[in-house]
Amino acid sequence: MIFTALSDGRFLLGERTTRCALGKNGVVEAAEKREGDGRSPLGTWTIRRVLYRPDKGGPPQTRLPAKALERDDGWCDDPLDPAYNRAVKLPHPASAEQMWRQDDLYDLVCVLAHNDDPPVPGRGSAIFMHLARPDGGPTEGCVALSREDLLDLLAQAQIGDAVAIERA
């Protein structure tokens, strides 16, 4: 199954349409995606795995591979580092995003297959599908859904399913 995030903020979730947030600077062709540009990459990205905060509700119901986050989990966003766009343990010698966040956005995260096989330095890292901000505001380039919608998606998803980011 392909779940679709549209640039106008609609998200096609099975038989229904809901809301999503995308990058604060819109969407961009994947080949033009750059680290830190605040844009979501157009394309279809397989859902690789699910990460979750074990202290915030436990593992979600899903057929996808799932792993509990640990307090020292990070994601390297330094294009010059060999671990670019990969999970790392913190502290990491290069720039890395903290996955165990205080704002709850990463309490539930789907790792998407953007720029990961192998990663091209500078073409964007940490493109996830994660929980939306309380105000539904934009992301740094990810796809964000409400907790209810993300849990619904995870309950439907199977290995090999993907998220398409498309222009409306």
Number of folded domains in the chain?
Answer: 1
CATH number at residue 115: 2.40.440.10
Domain span at 23: 2-166
pLDDT in tens, 70-115: 999 999 999 999 999 999 999 999 999 999 999 999 999 999 999 9
Q: Residue 85: name the closest of 47, 38, 48, 117 by CA.
A: 117
Q: Which tokens belong to 4?
A: 């679709």
Per-residue tokens: 106: 């990463």
Please give the share of the chain, as a percent, with pLDDT higher than 70.
100
Question: What is the rounded distance in angstroms from the CA atom of residue 91 to the CA atom of residue 23?
Answer: 27
Confidence band for 57, pLDDT divided at 50, 70 and 90: confident
Contact 41, 30 (CB under 8 A): yes
| Each residue's pLDDT tens digit, 45-54 | 999 999 999 9
